Structure formats: structure tokens, C-alpha cells
Amino acid sequence: MERLQKVLAQANIASRRKSEEMILEGRVKVNGKVITELGFKVNKTDDIEVDGKPIKLAEHLYFLLNKPTGFLSTVKDDKGRRTIMDLLEPAHKEIRLYPVGRLDYDTAGLLLLTNDGDFTNHMTHPSYHIEKEYLVRVKGIVIRKKIVELRKGVTIDKNYHAKPKAVRLIELNKDHQSTLLSITLVEGKNKQVRKMIEALGYQVKNLTRVRYDFLTLDGVERGTYRPLKIHEVKKLYAHSIAKRID
């Protein structure tokens, strides 16, 4: 059972706020009866009409996007910058899709998109400890001692102890004076990887999310996306529940 305004928003009738207005204005009927109560709950089998027209409940869609840098992980931007919506096919732009969590404007890689709010809540709830792996190219040579320090955790945001699940050294490039690290996190503070690298005394050259739980970017070119398979969605749900730490 879901609240009527949520169902209207999910069916792409209007935003949640606008849907509430429509209910209060007496424009919405459930099973032939006008409903003006905002807390009213409906289920999938109820007949819902708006302004006398039956609505079709939106099916849930899930996509895996390989985000390029230079795109915001938002639906729109007041300053007119490009957003991930600019990467979608016209038919998908019409669906109210939104990102599951965020990647920075300058971060590339794996980002999930969906119109399923419940799924998003599951994936982004702080008590769910889903692994996210990042490849980070760091300016300069990261010495062994610093990698050990990073593994133990570093302080970010003044007093937060950020401890990665795993840190691997992938490449030391003496010619270009850079280091490639893989960092796996089970939490997602704002700009966490960048802040951790800065706390260590280094700068990030570029950052890519390469894994989200068991999902990788395999077969998905930068700037393109693919639908998730139903078994992948189910597996994410199952993992998020199994990994929940209350």
C-alpha cells in the first residue's frame, strides 16, 4: 500500500507536491470515489482517475549508467549545466528517473538510475553497507606508509573517521608522477574519496566508480547505459537486506 500522492507522482502525473494539490482540489478518484485525504493509501489493483481519466501505474525501471565527467548527477540544474538526463534517450527522459545517490560533476563511472523510490531508499539508507569501488588516480607517488595510513582510516569533515573497506595499489607511474589506487567504501559521505585523499596530503587527478556491489561497467561504454536485469535488481535488494547493520 502506498500513499495516493506518491502513486500519482510515480505514475508521472505530477510532482508529489502538485499531486497533493490535485487531491485537495478533489480532482482524484479512487474506485469511483473522490478522495481529498492526503494520507489515503492505495494498492496496485485500485482504479485511480485524475480529472475523470484513468491513470496507468508506471512500471519500475532500473538502469546502469556509465557517467562521464562534466555531468551533474541531478535531474536539472538552475545554472544550465549538463546533467545525466542529457545522456538519456528521449523516451527515457519522459520517465521520472532519478539517480540512486550521486557522483560528483568531475567523477565518472557507475551510477544507477530508477523511478522506484523504495529501491532508492534501500540502496542509499545509511544502515545498508553496499560496497562501492573507486579507481582513483592520485597526483604524485603515494608511498607505502601512506597506504597503510589510508587503510587504517583518515579524518574527514573535521571529526569523521573514514575507514575504507579495502585499498589496493594498482600502479605507480614514476614517469607521470601519479599513483592509481582502488578504494572500496561501504558508506557514501559527500566527496568522500576526494576528502580522504586530501586528508592524506595528496590530490585527486581523476576518479571513477567501477563497481557497485556486484555490478561493474563491463560492456557499458562511457556516456551510455543499459537496463538492469530483473535478477540483478532482486540481488541488490537481497544484498542490501543481508548487509544491513542496525
Q: Which of residues 193-232 bind ligand URA (CB under 6 A)?
A: 193-194, 207
Whole-number minimum distance, CB 212 to ligand URA, in Å?
11
Q: Which of residues 108-147 bind ligand URA (CB under 6 A)?
A: none
Angle 230-242/117-124 helices, nearest 10 degrees? 40
> Residues of 215-242 as b/e, b for ≥16 C-beta within 10 angstroms?
bebeebeeeebeebeeebbeebeebbee
Whole-number minimum distance, CB 187 to ligand URA, in Å?
10
Catalytic residue among 77, 104, 118, 218: 104
Residue 104 touches ligand URA, criterion: CB under 6 A: yes
Q: In degrees to the nearest 10, what's the CA dihedral of 40, 43, 45, 47?
A: 30
Which of residues 64 and 103 has its CB atom nearest to ligand URA in the complex?
103
Considering only 82-90, 117-125, 148-156, 188-196, which stretch makes contact with ligand URA by CB under 6 A? Answer: 188-196
**DSSP H helices in the chain:** 4-10, 16-24, 90-93, 117-124, 144-152, 192-199, 230-242
- Catalytic residue check, 46: no
Which residues are part of the catalytic machinery? 104
Task: List interacting residues with ligand URA (CB under 6 A).
Answer: 103-104, 107, 191-194, 207
